[in-house]
Amino acid sequence: MNHIVSIGTSHHVAPIEFRERLAFSEEQLIESFQHFRESDQVQEAVILSTCNRVEVYAVLNSVRTAEAVAKVLVEFLSRCHRIDMESLKKWTYLQHNVETIRHLFRVTSSLDSMVVGESQILGQVKDAYDTSRSAGSTGTILNRLFTKAFSVGKRIRSETTITTGAVSISYAAVELAKKIFNTLEGKTVAIIGAGEMSELTAKHLVANGVSNVIVANRTYERAVNVAQKFDGIPLAYDSDLNFLIDADIVISSTNAPDYLIKRQPLAKIMRKRKHRYMFLIDIAVPRDIEPDVNKLDHAFLYNIDDLEAVVASNLKDRQQEATRAEQIVSEETKRFYDQLQIFQVNPTIKALHQQFREIADTELQACFYKATLSDQQEEVIASMTQAIVKKLLHHPMQNLRCAVNDGDADHGQYVQALQELFALDVNDE
């Protein structure tokens, strides 16, 4: 029987120092595929190497015990990356059959990712699979497994909402802006003060269509420095906030001890900008914007706590959705494993049938040759032999199928026994 296994490491079990040592370079990938093609034990293999995880999925042939499987793979990794066996055993996990299937399904559905629901992993697994396939190291089983994994990943993305909802403050700000403005095209964002968070938010806004950036700072030089990054307009301000007339989105993160933007002055500015919507994001502590600003018509104020609440609620939702996604993974894992069992048992059943039929046919021909029989007699004898073959095979086949369907772990041994006892030549293809 074939053994589907995976060995690997991820951010869950190993620190970055170890992961980078295990990561595969281009050359190492080529060498490894070469090694697998020549190997007798490794029938198929896919290597997935990203910054958060390094995993090898393989189908091993004629390896019986779990220890033997571990030995083959650990030795391979140890040789390939020159890492001692001890640390490999400490920092990696090894999975067999059902566990491997479930693990891959979880990985492609981004349930195993650092941020549950992140969107990159599906593409990364696809790339890894394509590379392995074009290197000729995959076969029927891994082709089936990975194709299924991609469809499971897609199913979970469409049937659950683990991928929706911003899980960072800057993205939450972008999503909010999209809920307010009909389009971000042509809009202007004003950054007051400087800071990593406000720059990141502005960057996301620009990526989503915002056209103009105004950078206001108390010192002009600083404003120029930040403005360069966005092709924006630098501005020095003291108490005059009239530049806000052109600003649709305001991100404030100054060190000012008092409110910088107050309700009354802003009301005047809103009148001057003909009450077009203004979205104000206050990420400063202490706050820069008077909370009452949120009471002005067409002005919407979110401070850092509000944004964090949005993110927290989105994360909570993702967590809930992840539970549903795990159910889908379990369901699909079971289904795929059952199909795979049947798929793996079928060649043996076929071979056995064929062998019996061939023996019967040969003997029939010999019998017809010796005795002179009428057509009708020949027909009767032929159908009798067929019936004997069928009945002889009936119970063994039925029990074998039952063992497979019940998930009986022994069926692998049955298949092995059948193949050896009857000297079957089973071709997996």
Partner 1 sequence: MSLASQNARSMINFLFLVTLLIYLAAGIFQTLSLAIGNRSEASVIRPAIEQIAFWCTIIGFAFLSVFIALWWLQQGHFPMTHWTDSTAFFAWAITLVYLLIVRLTHLRTLGSFVMPVAFIAILISYSFATHTAALPEPLQNYWLLAHTTLIFLAYAAFIAAFGFGLMYLIAERKIRKKTDALFDNLLPSLGTSDELGYRCTILGVILLTMGVIVGSLWTQYIRDVPWRWLDAKVISTLVTWFIYVAQIGIRQFWGWHGRRAAYAAIIGFVAVLCTYVGVDLFLDSMHTYR
Binding site for partner 1 (CB under 8 A): 159-161, 164-165, 175-176, 178-183, 274-277, 294, 297-298, 300, 302, 306, 309-310, 313-314, 317, 324
Q: Which residue has the tokens 């057509």?
A: 375
Nearer CB in complex with partner 1: 176/329: 176
Between CA 370 and CA 347 the distance in angstroms is 35
Q: Both ends of the chain: CA-CA distance in Å?
A: 14
Instruction: Compute the least distance from the CB of residue 410 to partner 1, in Å.
Output: 38
Q: From the CB of 257, what's the least distance to partner 1, in Å?
A: 25
What's the min distance (Å) between Cβ of 301 and partner 1?
Answer: 9
**Catalytic member of 51, 80, 367, 402:** 51
Please report where in the chains the tokens 């990561």 appear, as a residue.
Answer: 23
| Nearest approach, Cβ of residue 337 and partner 1 (Å) | 24
Q: Are 61 and 1 in contact (CB under 8 A)?
A: no
Q: For partner 1, which is the closer residue by CB, 79 or 271?
A: 271
CB of 143 vs partner 1, minimal distance in Å: 29
Interatomic CA distance for residues 150 and 105, integer angstroms: 8
Burial class, 274, CB count within 10 angstroms (exposed 0-12 / middle 13-18 / buried 19+)? exposed
As measured in angstroms, the least distance from the Cβ of 159 to partner 1 is: 5
Q: Are strands 53-60 and 212-217 parallel, antiparallel or unpaired?
A: unpaired
Q: Crossing angle of helices 120-134/140-159, nearest 10°? A: 170
Residue number, 179 or 391, with CB nearest to partner 1 = 179
Toward partner 1, which CB reaches closer, 6 or 160? 160
Write the burial class of residue 52 (CB in 10 Å: 0-12 exposed, 13-18 middle, 19+ buried): middle
* Nearest-approach distance from CB 333 to partner 1, in angstroms: 20
The residue type found at 372 is T
Q: Which residues of 25-46 are buried (b: 16+ CB within 10 A; e: fewer)?
A: eeeebeebbeebeebebbbbbb
Nearer to partner 1, 180 or 393 (CB): 180
Q: Determine whether 80 is an active site residue.
A: no
H-state helical runs in 135-183? 140-159, 169-180
Q: What's the chain's length in residues?
A: 429
Closest CA to 245 of 181, 188, 283, 186: 188
Q: Which helix (H) or strand (E) holds 318?
A: helix 304-370
Helices (H), ranges, 82-119 = 85-91, 97-108
Q: Of 180 and 364, which has the nearer Cβ to partner 1?
A: 180
Q: Which is nearer to partner 1, 165 or 232 (CB)?
A: 165
DSSP character string of 3-53: EEEEEEEETTTS-HHHHHHHPPPHHHHHHHHHHHHH-SSEEEEEEEE-SSE
CA–CA separation, 290 and 306 (whole Å): 14
Residues labelled catalytic: 51
